[in-house]
Amino acid sequence: MGARNHNYRLVKIHRTYTVEEMATLLAVHRNTVRRWFEEGLATIDQKRPVLVKGDALLTFLKDRRTKGKRPCRPGEFYCLRCRAPRRPTGSRVVYQAFTFDRGNLLGVCPDCGARLNRRVSLARMGPAIGDLQVAFPQAQEHIDESPHPSLNCDFNGGARTHA
Protein backbone atom coordinates (compact mmCIF):
# COMPACT_ATOMS: atom_id res chain seq x y z
CA MET A 1 0.00 0.00 0.00
CA GLY A 2 1.35 3.38 -0.96
CA ALA A 3 1.80 6.21 1.49
CA ARG A 4 -0.19 8.62 -0.64
CA ASN A 5 -3.82 9.40 0.05
CA HIS A 6 -5.76 10.06 -3.12
CA ASN A 7 -8.56 12.59 -3.22
CA TYR A 8 -11.59 10.32 -3.50
CA ARG A 9 -13.90 13.35 -3.53
CA LEU A 10 -13.05 13.87 -7.20
CA VAL A 11 -14.72 10.58 -8.15
CA LYS A 12 -18.25 10.80 -9.59
CA ILE A 13 -20.33 7.81 -8.45
CA HIS A 14 -22.64 7.70 -11.52
CA ARG A 15 -19.82 7.59 -14.04
CA THR A 16 -17.65 4.81 -15.47
CA TYR A 17 -13.90 5.26 -15.72
CA THR A 18 -11.18 3.75 -17.87
CA VAL A 19 -7.67 3.11 -16.55
CA GLU A 20 -6.38 6.27 -18.20
CA GLU A 21 -9.24 8.41 -16.85
CA MET A 22 -8.68 7.14 -13.30
CA ALA A 23 -4.93 7.76 -13.59
CA THR A 24 -5.49 11.32 -14.80
CA LEU A 25 -8.21 12.08 -12.26
CA LEU A 26 -6.16 10.89 -9.27
CA ALA A 27 -2.74 11.99 -10.61
CA VAL A 28 -1.21 8.51 -10.55
CA HIS A 29 0.46 6.30 -13.13
CA ARG A 30 -1.62 3.85 -15.18
CA ASN A 31 0.33 0.94 -13.67
CA THR A 32 -0.76 2.08 -10.21
CA VAL A 33 -4.40 1.79 -11.28
CA ARG A 34 -3.70 -1.66 -12.77
CA ARG A 35 -2.14 -2.74 -9.46
CA TRP A 36 -5.36 -1.66 -7.72
CA PHE A 37 -7.19 -4.36 -9.71
CA GLU A 38 -4.94 -6.95 -8.05
CA GLU A 39 -5.71 -5.35 -4.65
CA GLY A 40 -9.45 -5.77 -5.16
CA LEU A 41 -10.77 -2.88 -7.29
CA ALA A 42 -13.81 -4.36 -9.08
CA THR A 43 -14.29 -3.94 -12.84
CA ILE A 44 -17.60 -3.99 -14.71
CA ASP A 45 -16.62 -7.02 -16.81
CA GLN A 46 -13.53 -8.81 -18.12
CA LYS A 47 -13.57 -7.10 -21.53
CA ARG A 48 -11.44 -4.31 -22.88
CA PRO A 49 -11.33 -1.42 -22.31
CA VAL A 50 -11.35 -2.08 -18.60
CA LEU A 51 -14.17 -0.06 -17.03
CA VAL A 52 -14.82 0.70 -13.37
CA LYS A 53 -17.99 2.14 -11.88
CA GLY A 54 -17.49 5.36 -9.96
CA ASP A 55 -19.12 4.06 -6.80
CA ALA A 56 -16.82 0.99 -6.82
CA LEU A 57 -13.76 3.24 -7.20
CA LEU A 58 -14.98 5.51 -4.41
CA THR A 59 -15.57 2.58 -2.05
CA PHE A 60 -12.16 1.08 -2.90
CA LEU A 61 -10.30 4.34 -2.21
CA LYS A 62 -12.15 4.97 1.08
CA ASP A 63 -11.50 1.41 2.28
CA ARG A 64 -7.85 1.68 1.27
CA ARG A 65 -7.47 4.89 3.29
CA THR A 66 -9.15 3.56 6.45
CA LYS A 67 -7.31 0.22 6.28
CA GLY A 68 -4.00 1.90 7.14
CA LYS A 69 -5.28 3.96 10.07
CA ARG A 70 -4.15 3.03 13.57
CA PRO A 71 -6.20 5.12 16.02
CA CYS A 72 -4.74 5.83 19.45
CA ARG A 73 -6.69 5.25 22.66
CA PRO A 74 -6.46 7.70 25.57
CA GLY A 75 -2.92 7.76 26.92
CA GLU A 76 -1.37 6.40 23.70
CA PHE A 77 0.79 8.15 21.13
CA TYR A 78 1.62 6.87 17.64
CA CYS A 79 5.29 5.86 17.36
CA LEU A 80 6.55 6.46 13.82
CA ARG A 81 9.49 4.12 14.26
CA CYS A 82 7.45 1.19 15.66
CA ARG A 83 4.44 2.05 13.44
CA ALA A 84 2.05 1.36 16.29
CA PRO A 85 0.30 3.18 19.15
CA ARG A 86 2.41 3.14 22.35
CA ARG A 87 2.12 4.38 25.95
CA PRO A 88 5.00 6.72 26.87
CA THR A 89 7.76 5.46 29.16
CA GLY A 90 6.80 5.78 32.83
CA SER A 91 3.34 7.09 31.85
CA ARG A 92 4.82 10.61 31.92
CA VAL A 93 4.69 13.33 29.29
CA VAL A 94 5.67 16.98 29.06
CA TYR A 95 3.39 19.65 27.63
CA GLN A 96 5.16 22.05 25.26
CA ALA A 97 3.02 25.10 24.44
CA PHE A 98 3.00 26.64 20.97
CA THR A 99 0.18 29.11 21.46
CA PHE A 100 -1.86 30.06 24.50
CA ASP A 101 -4.33 27.20 23.88
CA ARG A 102 -2.43 24.58 21.80
CA GLY A 103 0.71 22.56 22.17
CA ASN A 104 2.40 19.16 21.98
CA LEU A 105 2.57 16.36 24.46
CA LEU A 106 6.08 14.88 24.39
CA GLY A 107 7.06 11.43 25.58
CA VAL A 108 9.46 8.56 24.88
CA CYS A 109 8.57 5.23 23.28
CA PRO A 110 9.25 2.35 25.72
CA ASP A 111 10.15 -0.08 22.91
CA CYS A 112 12.48 1.86 20.62
CA GLY A 113 13.29 5.04 22.58
CA ALA A 114 11.98 7.36 19.86
CA ARG A 115 10.35 10.67 20.70
CA LEU A 116 6.54 10.59 20.77
CA ASN A 117 4.47 13.68 19.89
CA ARG A 118 0.76 14.31 20.09
CA ARG A 119 -0.78 17.68 19.21
CA VAL A 120 -3.47 18.73 21.69
CA SER A 121 -5.50 21.73 22.72
CA LEU A 122 -5.70 22.64 26.39
CA ALA A 123 -9.50 22.56 26.27
CA ARG A 124 -9.59 18.93 25.03
CA MET A 125 -6.49 17.51 26.66
CA GLY A 126 -8.38 15.23 29.07
CA PRO A 127 -9.47 12.57 26.57
CA ALA A 128 -6.02 12.52 24.93
CA ILE A 129 -3.96 11.95 28.07
CA GLY A 130 -6.10 9.37 29.84
CA ASP A 131 -4.25 8.51 33.07
CA LEU A 132 -0.84 9.94 32.05
CA GLN A 133 1.06 12.33 34.31
CA VAL A 134 1.55 15.65 32.51
CA ALA A 135 4.31 18.09 33.45
CA PHE A 136 3.78 21.74 32.59
CA PRO A 137 7.25 23.31 32.60
CA GLN A 138 7.43 26.93 33.68
CA ALA A 139 8.54 29.44 31.12
CA GLN A 140 12.14 30.48 31.44
CA GLU A 141 12.52 33.88 33.00
CA HIS A 142 13.43 36.82 30.85
CA ILE A 143 16.91 38.27 31.34
CA ASP A 144 15.40 41.53 32.64
CA GLU A 145 13.61 39.60 35.41
CA SER A 146 16.75 37.82 36.59
CA PRO A 147 18.06 38.71 40.07
CA HIS A 148 21.60 38.09 38.80
CA PRO A 149 22.40 40.34 35.86
CA SER A 150 24.61 39.05 33.11
CA LEU A 151 28.32 39.33 33.85
CA ASN A 152 28.97 39.63 30.18
CA CYS A 153 28.68 43.41 30.07
CA ASP A 154 30.93 46.20 28.97
CA PHE A 155 29.90 48.79 31.55
CA ASN A 156 32.69 49.71 33.94
CA GLY A 157 31.49 53.17 34.87
CA GLY A 158 34.22 55.12 33.08
CA ALA A 159 34.82 56.26 29.55
CA ARG A 160 37.25 54.28 27.47
CA THR A 161 39.85 55.83 25.29
CA HIS A 162 41.28 54.22 22.25
CA ALA A 163 44.94 54.57 21.58
User: What's the pTM?
Assistant: 0.55
- Pair 51, 18: CB distance under 8 Å: yes
Domains of the chain: 8-67 (1.10.10), 77-138 (2.40.50)
Integer Cα distance of 90 and 114 in angstroms: 14
Q: Which amino acid is at 59?
A: T
5 φ/ψ angles, rounded to the nearest 5 degrees: -100, 120
- Residue-wise pLDDT for 41-52, tens only, equals 999 998 889 999
Q: Across 12-16, 91-95, 135-139, which has the greatest mean pLDDT?
A: 12-16
The pLDDT of 131-153, averaged and rounded, is 70
